[in-house]
Structure 1
Amino acid sequence: MTRPQTDSRPLHERITAAIIADLERGVRPWTRPWSDDRSGVVSLPLRSTGEPYRGINVLLLWTEAVARCYRDPTWMTFRQALALGGHVRKGEHGAAVIYAGRVGEGRSDDEGETSEDRRRPWFLKAYTVFNLAQIEDLPEAFYAAREAADRAPFDPIATAERFFAATGAEVRHGGGQAFYLPSRDYVQMPPLDAFDDAQAYYATRGHETVHWTGHPRRVSRDFSSARFGDEGYAMEELVAELGAAFLCADLALALTPRTEHADYIGHWLKVLRNDPRAIFTAASHAQKAVDYLHDLQT
């Protein structure tokens, strides 16, 4: 009997290959209707504690959710389900998420690192999680909390307005284009009535505000070159795309892809094919940008 072949490529290459396959079909895996209804509102995948996943794991679990038609955002390990009194149904297959750390230490980020820590190489380790839809007999609080959240009144537009105002980013309205101008350090937006709806306006504003975070006085993000069509420009646009997706999930906004961004898919494919780690880099920068914007909230 012939044994099925396993994919022996490193983890980061397998993940990047899956994202490339989506992009080759014209599908951006961060701009799908990640919601419990047809409103298009996006939500972050959650751990068993209710804490959101971050960075590349958001993309991995979003992709799994849409592929398997999962509507609940909560994911947990086999042992976490057992510890909570539940169990994964027999025959269910989990989804891979990753843990990033440095060789010889247990931290997954740079907080509190010494210079010696930073010289240690990074490693990626995969582990398996299961969606709430695959798990039985969990405490009723898991389901009750979700139902309460579904019923809770929430005005995502008002929340978005407060969020973007608190960043302090200068925004000018007028004309027919949305962009961030680094030399003058302001965001240019068409007027609200130029958009199909307010949701589209705030999703676009999120994209441009992520660009705004890259200024040297903020997170100081620099991909060396940023001319249209080159890899530096493509990476910056990919960071802004992912950052806008993360923000829309945080603010319960619909995420409608901007038509002009379809032109970037070819550039992103070139970047990802040249560097299988590029999507990890972009997701990390996007998460840092979004964290920075949240830190500005009062």
Structure 2
Amino acid sequence: MTKSATKIDMYQEVTNAMIELLETDLPQWKKGWKTRPVTNIFGGVNGSTGELYKGVNRLILAKAMINSDYKYNVWMTYKQAQAKNLQVKKGAKSVRLAYYNVIEKENKEGDIETIPFLNSFCVFNISQMDGDISAITPDEDETLTPIAENETAKTIFANTDVKIEYGYNSACYKPYIDTICMPNASDFVNLDEQFATLGHELVHSTGAEKRLNRQYGKKFGDTAYAREELVAELGASFLCAEMGCLETTLTNHASYLKSWLQVLKADKRAIFKASADAQKAVNYILENWSQKKQPIAA
């Protein structure tokens, strides 16, 4: 099989999985954290390096967690498992993750161009391994915190340079005045819902021209608008995973799901771009707003 064919297969494979997730698995996605207090559905971690997986790989592993109902969101390659004296069980099915590699090629003008291409590697969940996995499983006593109790979340919301105003009928980010508009706290079911909504709008704010400069779209239903909403939902969920929060905020509003599905079905690269933009937004938030001043009180 050629590299080109492999690339196309990987894009389509991931896109098909995400379409299936949105069409059939969304309720499980939303409730997943409630039954796994030490596992964030988007917090897939490498058991060898301790690093969180990023971007679209968070989604791939979330789908695998739902499909197989694994207890722990911890993964390793076959060789990494062997290095820890673990053996992948016979017949265990791997999960294929994506990464970009580059090749250098000389163009017609004699200049060297760097060309990215999609590649893949396979991982296994630690539940698929024989041996002592106790050293790489999350501590059952160290459960994830609700977002409203998370100190990093409090600090971020206190230190953002985006203006936040309350008293509105709905939540939104207005780029032309760089302001997040929020309903009053009393309009939310609880503080967790308020903070989760604020996280979604904060991801939107990273797309401002002076920050990451994303296209917002002009009205609900157009492609750019749908893409940006998907970035914000993924980004808010990724942010919770990075902070060690329980919440995942993916909406189940039918109109939003329909617009996202249209985007994914029209462009097999869309989920890769949205995931990458969501990860960039999270990185921006953590790098710029997570270590200043004092956290707000709960």
- Alignment TM-score, normalising by the size of structure 1: 0.83
Task: Indicate if the aligned counterparts of 1:31 and 1:245 stay in contact, CA closer than 8 A.
Answer: no
Answer with 240-249 or 52-61: which moved more: 240-249
Structure 2 counterpart SS, 1:254: coil
2:258 partner amino acid: G
Residues 77-103 of structure 1: per-residue CA shift (max 9 Å, x gap): 011000111111122111111121222
Structure 2 counterpart SS, 1:72: coil
Q: Residues 201 and 289 of structure 1: is their aligned pair in 2 closer, same or farther, counting only changes over 3 Å? A: same
CA distance in 1, matches of 2:185, 2:22: 30
Task: Indicate if the aligned counterparts of 1:169 and 1:187 stay in contact, CA closer than 8 A.
Answer: yes
1:131 matched to which residue of 2? Answer: 125
Does residue 1:157 correspond to 2:148, yes or no?
yes
2:192 matched to which residue of 1? Answer: 199
CA distance in 2, matches of 1:219, 1:83: 40
1:280 matched to which residue of 2? Answer: 272
Answer with 47-56 or 13-22: which moved more: 13-22
Query: 2:218 aligned to 214, 222, 226, which one?
Result: 226
Residues 172-228 of structure 1: per-residue CA shift (max 9 Å, x gap): 1112200001111100111222111211111111110000000111111126x4322
Task: Indicate if the aligned counterparts of 2:226 and 2:259 stay in contact, CA closer than 8 A.
Answer: yes
Identity between Structure 1 and Structure 2 (%): 35
CA distance in 2, matches of 1:256, 1:241: 7
CA distance in 2, matches of 1:41, 1:10: 28
Matched pairs, number: 276
Does residue 1:85 correspond to 2:88, yes or no?
no
Answer with 126-135 or 27-36: which moved more: 27-36
Answer with 181-190 or 30-39: which moved more: 30-39
Residues 156-178 of structure 1: per-residue CA shift (max 9 Å, x gap): 42422212212222111112200
Task: Indicate if the aligned counterparts of 2:146 and 2:192 stay in contact, CA closer than 8 A.
Answer: no
- Alignment TM-score, normalising by the size of structure 2: 0.83
Q: Residues 124 and 274 of structure 1: is their aligned pair in 2 closer, same or farther, counting only changes over 3 Å? A: same
CA distance in 2, matches of 1:15, 1:147: 31
CA distance in 2, matches of 1:288, 1:226: 22
1:210 matched to which residue of 2? Answer: 203
- Give the alignment's Cα RMSD to 1 decimal: 2.7
CA distance in 2, matches of 1:153, 1:242: 19
Structure 2 counterpart SS, 1:125: strand
Write 1 or 2 for the structure with the bigger share of strand. 2
Does residue 1:122 correspond to 2:116, yes or no?
yes
Q: Extract unaligned runs of 5+ from structure 1.
A: 1-6, 106-115
Q: Extract unaligned runs of 5+ from structure 2.
A: 1-5, 106-110, 292-298
Residues 267-287 of structure 1: per-residue CA shift (max 9 Å, x gap): 112111211100100000000
Q: Residues 32 and 243 of structure 1: is their aligned pair in 2 closer, same or farther, counting only changes over 3 Å? A: farther
1:110 matched to which residue of 2? Answer: none
2:283 partner amino acid: D
Task: Indicate if the aligned counterparts of 1:229 and 1:267 stay in contact, CA closer than 8 A.
Answer: yes
Task: Indicate if the aligned counterparts of 2:221 and 2:259 stay in contact, CA closer than 8 A.
Answer: yes
